Structure formats: C-alpha cells, structure tokens
Structure 1
C-alpha cells in the first residue's frame, strides 16, 4: 500500500492522533473484517510517506471479498491520502513484519536555487552544488555492520545494525540540479537513523565534514557528533524483501 504521510502520526496506531494502521483497520471494518489489526513491514515516523509498504491482515473465514476485488473495495472507504495498490493471498505463516528480510527507504532532495511548490512536503529543498562524490565516499564508509548509536534518537534497543546499501543519486541536470535520491537498505533501523544518516551526508556534500570523518562519528556513539535529523517529509518507505519474491500488499485467512 501507499500513503501521504503528512496527515498521519505514522503507521502505528496512536491514542490521540490519526495513524495509517487505524485508517486501514477502519476500512476493513466496513467490509466486515475488524477483528485483527493490519500489520506492516515496518513502523514509520510521523510525516513519513510510503510508496510500497507490504501489509498483512488476518481475515475471518466468513470474509467474502475476493483478493482480486479487495484493493478496490478498500480504496472506496480509504481517504485520498491512502491507497491499497494490490492484494493477494499470502503464503501460510507469512508475517509482514517478522518475515521481512530487508526494508528499503529513499530520501528525496530538491537540489536547486529556488524551492519548487510541487515538491513542497515531498522533498527537502537544499542549495545546489553538493559534492556527490564525497557523499558517496562517506556512504561507502557507513555501509556494513556498525554501532549506529550516533545516528539514533532516544534509542533504548541495541544499536548495532547492518546497513546494506547507502547510495546518493544526483539530479539529471548537467550541474546536478533537480531531484536527488538517497537510497538506504537494511534489515532494520534505529529510531530516526535514516534521517540522521541523510543529515550527515548533507554535511559532507556541503563541505562541512570530511568523508573520512564519519568513521569518527561512528566510533564516538554520540548523537551530537552526527548531522541533524532531516525533515520527515522527504522520507519514503520504498519497499521490502521477503523469502522468494518481493512481497506486495497481502491478506491471509485466519482459517
């Protein structure tokens, strides 16, 4: 499924704020399946968008909406900011979160002298002339298994993670202007880790931090040493990998 993160406090249900999980659950309730809450591949922060978030839902044996009609039926009850893109039966034992092998994010930058109204709330506006080679050198140094405590916010879990892929792709213009994408892949991430990584890469791209300096930031384990968290509005959950083929939005019967 996909959503515009601006109106939501994230995926996870919140007591006093709108969430994507509650919104989808309400749509299922309209179709007679409200016993189980939807489960997503990962939780997203407030304001974070999703392009392709796998979700599973246990439905009762009495559920009569066939998979080929389910996306359309749910979308009839969902707001314009949320859409189910596809639905199909899931393999036995599938779990959108616990079966997930890799989560993928993309952070978008609008790299241009002036802001663009069509990218407002969709990409972070930054001045042009970022040093993409330096940013990718720093990204290479950050890739692998490390203690990422310096990039996490208020994290009480263990902070060692495997960062499998971190790449900066510049805009298509000759001078690098336009829409940039920073791709981030890993099995799991710490709280605000992706946004902290992007903020640090921006320091490198602006010449405020040497690419080699990211090793010192990693070793310091101090959040104050890394770049500031960039805005959530430029971040997208871009997909997930599962055993076999990549999963799409799914349902499964609880029978």
Structure 2
C-alpha cells in the first residue's frame, strides 16, 4: 500500500529453503512476516533471522490442508501482527514415483498441500485484502508444470497453481489485488538434495549436471526466488497480474 503503514505478509512453508528466503527478504523489505509451517517450532530460525535484522516476525504452526487450522492461523496473524494483505503460497511436498507405482495416498498428499493449501490460505487472507482494497498473492509453481517424469502428482499440482493464479487475478483485480505465479527451475534446497540421494548421485555432481544444461551455467538458489517475490509484492508491480514467471536460468525448462 502507498500510505506508508507496515504491511503484513504470510509465507507458507517458510521454515527453510525457498520459503525461509522469501520470508527474510520480505522482512528486510519492511513487511511484518507471519512465518507459517507445519510445526511452529521449526520456524524459529527464520523468525530469529528476521528479528535480528530489525524486522518483525511471528512463527505460526498450521497444516495448510486443514481448513480449520488455516482459519485459526489467519485469525491469529490478524490479531497479533495486523490484517495480512500479502500471501505467498510456497508450502509443498514431493512424493515422486512413476504412475504405475504411485499410490492414491501419494497423489492426495501432494494435491492437498499444494493446491488445497493454496486455496484455503488465499481464501482466508483475501477478505483482508478486499477490505484494504489492496493485496498481493504469489503462488509457487514449477517448471515441472510442463511435465516431468516420475512427478505426475507434483506436475499436476504445479500446473493447477497456474490456473488458480490466473483465476484469482480475474476475480480479485477489481479490489486492487494482484495474483502471480513463480515457476522455479532447479533450486538448490534440501528437497532437491533429497532427489539427488534418491537417484544415487552426490548433490554436487547433480548440481553440476544441471548447471551445464542451464543457459546461465549455474543452478538457482532460494534468493533468486525471493528477489522475484519482492518485486511482485511491491507497489511498483501493481500492473502485473495473472502472470507466470519462469525463474529458471533460461527460456526452456
């Protein structure tokens, strides 16, 4: 908002990795940040880092796929930090397998955290955005939305995030709310390190292989995504909505 008041941002999956980098960046940008993850205690490091840098942060534990838990979390955030007008839907899990080996539970788990979680959290926060006549929604998609072997569940969920984003942009634009998605390429995190372990290669070797295939000749880091979020939630990005930005080191996935 342009009135100079401190805005409140909610970042899901913010205990570590990309989410933690986003939360810290928004804290440095002047937002009061609700650091939300499944386990409240796991958010302590992110919250401490924001506060140490002079920012304001609150650790919040909630299962984003649980409707009641999300509603309670957003009410708490509004009460302790103020009405949230920025939401970054970053929470996610992987349950990779080839289609014929993939269980229904693995399909549902990924869909529930990514898509159901983004729906529930955004629905809970949007009323505060509408009241303020200003808001920013950023959804984390992935280059896997274009298809990726062994990730039928994850790819479908990340493609769904793009459709959700565009619909939110259409519905909420009249209230001064923008909605955009970021589709990261390979980002060096605990999640991608686990992928390397599953494939039986060292993480350094895995990153080197990916970097050699990427036009900028490096892999991504969480701060690459945090920088992009910082722009999309800024006042200056008010005419950018309904877009999917591929932060992938090149034009091709």
Shorter-chain TM-score range = under 0.3
Which structure carries more helix by proportion? 2
Q: Greater relative contact order: 1 or 2 (C-alpha under 8 angstroms, separation 6 or more)?
A: 1
Which structure carries more strand by proportion? 1
TM-score, normalized by length of structure 1? 0.24
Query: Considering only CA atoms, is the larger Rg found in Structure 1 or Structure 2?
Result: 1
